[in-house]
Amino acid sequence: MKEFKIAVILGTRPEIIKLSSIIRELENQKINYFIIHTNQHYSENMDAIFFEELELPKPKYNLGIGSGTHGEMTAKMLIGIEKILIEENPNWIIVQGDTNTVLAGALAASKLQIKIAHVEAGLRSYDRSMPEEINRIVTDQVSSALFTPTQKQSDILYKENISKEKVFEVGNTIVDAVIQNQELIEKHAKFNHYKNENYFLLTTHRPSNVDNKENLTELIESITEISKKYKYFTYFPIHPRTKKQIENFKIQIDQNFIKLLEPVGYLEMLALEKNSRLIFTDSGGIQEEACILNIPSVTLRENTERPETINVGASILVGHDKEKIKNAVKTMLSSGKNWLNPFGNGDSSKKIIKIIQSES
Ligand code: UD1
Ligand code: UDP
């Protein structure tokens, strides 16, 4: 009889973080699995640092794909993943989120009739100009088990005629990651200084914000003016895409107000988030983490596939418009922080692995 086997496919920073608790669970339960890393992210501080810090095993396969156009990247991944899946013949693949790695993994597996577990299924921004929206829709259509964070995403999938038997509401594995790493942060005395500083935190990497000169300029100007007004400086761990665009567009950053950092490891990021007064972000993961850590945030997007953070009062959706950002800061700084985390209580990975086993 064929031995039960799972392939975990990942490629970018948020996938490594959000799959870390699933990988730990597979290890703990001694389940037969292996990791395929597409290497969509490859810089040391976007990739290797997370495997080290989160004590994850080295991927069995690394496809070394790197950056490229969407078609080029996805096509190369598809070829590489298909070869491995044919050779290894796993029963399931697990993918997480909405990147090109997820799309390639899901397409390769679906043609080989290998079951697909999609973690963080059912999210929709209803904005098809976002590459991630296409990846989500296609992946959900071909998945065998769709793991949704909240009832909202389950309802979205039902409306898209996805069979109820395939949909499992399990919370978001980001809660597992935040909880599992709290103790480790406290152990790292080198992050303690953040406790004594007064600052805001900024991250941005969405093409709609950073690939457009006017939008990126307006965003940087807004944050600089807000930092001046509130006498809080802003830490800005900068995504490589954004760094490249700031250089391309020759945008000046006043480092008296915006302190640039290279991308930081996960423990340092959690320490930065926990001790910040307010977070400006267009990141999906950070939007969720801010909500979980009870830190107010301002979502630098025109739309969101994570409306829960807005609905519970943890964030305001603003895009890149200066006045809207300023008003949102005023509101978020004066409102309470007593919302409840809607993303579950940190046992998502355990639930996901249990369901995959029972569906096999
Ligand atoms: C990708 C995902 C996005 C996710 C984000 C997480 C897609 C379509 N996009 O966006 O959904 O939110 O990851 O961070 O899958 N670069 C480096 N080093 C790296 C990685 C990237 O220098 O390790 C630079 C390259 O110049 C590259 C650019 O960043 O061209 C963009 O990388 P890419 O993976 O295409 O998209 P992200 O913006 O990272
Ligand atoms: N993150 C990190 N270091 C950084 C910036 C982000 O560890 O310098 C973490 C962050 O805490 C979150 C994840 O990376 O868990 C979010 O990744 P990103 O913003 O790149 O992508 P998204 O979530 O928008 O897909």
- Which CATH number fits the domain that encloses residue 257? 3.40.50.2000
Same domain, 226 and 253: yes
pLDDT value of position 185:
78
For the CA of 262, the nearest atom of ligand 2:
8
Same domain, 140 and 286: no
Distance CA 272, CA 274 (A): 6
Same domain, 232 and 133: no
**Confidence band of 188 (pLDDT split at 50, 70, 90):** confident
Q: Is residue 90 part of a domain?
A: yes
- Residue 75 vs residue 360, higher pLDDT: 75
For the CA of 14, the nearest atom of ligand 1:
6
Does 184 have pLDDT greater than 80? no
Q: Is residue 178 part of a domain?
A: no
**Residue range 178-200: average pLDDT?**
87
Residues 6 and 26: beta-carbon distance below 8 Å: yes
Residue positions annotated with a catalytic role: 205
**Residue range 309-319: average pLDDT?**
96
Same domain, 38 and 115: yes
**Residue range 303-323: average pLDDT?**
95
Give the residue from 36, 18, 28 showing the smallest Cα distance to 90: 36
**Residue range 19-24: average pLDDT?**
97
Q: Is residue 177 part of a domain?
A: no
The ligand minimizing its distance to the Cα of 206 is 1
- Domain with 54, as residue range(s), is 6-172+345-358
Long-range contacts made by residues 297-300, C-beta under 8 angstroms, separation at least 24? 297/332, 298/325, 298/328, 298/329, 298/332, 300/204, 300/206, 300/209, 300/219, 300/325
Q: Is residue 164 part of a domain?
A: yes
**Residue range 257-273: average pLDDT?**
97
pLDDT value of position 4:
92
Q: Is residue 107 part of a domain?
A: yes
Same domain, 157 and 199: no
pLDDT value of position 48:
98
Does 37 have pLDDT greater than 90? yes
Same domain, 123 and 206: no
Number of domain units in the chain:
2
Does 12 have pLDDT greater than 70? yes
Burial of 113 (0-12, 13-18, 19+ CB in 10 A): exposed
Q: Is residue 339 part of a domain?
A: no
Same domain, 125 and 241: no
Same domain, 18 and 137: yes
Residue type, 117: A
Give the residue from 342, 200, 211 showing the smallest Cα distance to 278: 200
The C-alpha torsion from 226 through 229 and 233 to 239, rounded to 10°, is: 10
Same domain, 149 and 20: yes
Q: Is residue 136 part of a domain?
A: yes
Same domain, 21 and 96: yes
The ligand minimizing its distance to the Cα of 50 is 2
**Residue range 109-132: average pLDDT?**
97
Same domain, 167 and 213: no
Residues 259 and 235: beta-carbon distance below 8 Å: yes
Pocket around ligand 1: residues whose beta carbon is below 6 Å from it? Answer: 12-14, 40-43, 46-47, 67, 98-100, 131-132, 205, 239-241, 244
Does 19 have pLDDT greater than 80? yes
Same domain, 251 and 351: no
Q: Is residue 340 part of a domain?
A: no
Q: Which residues contact 122 (CB under 8 A, 6 or more apart)?
A: 140, 146, 148, 149, 152, 153, 154, 156, 157, 167
**Residue range 161-167: average pLDDT?**
97
User: Which pair of structure tokens corresponds to residue 223?
Assistant: 């944050």
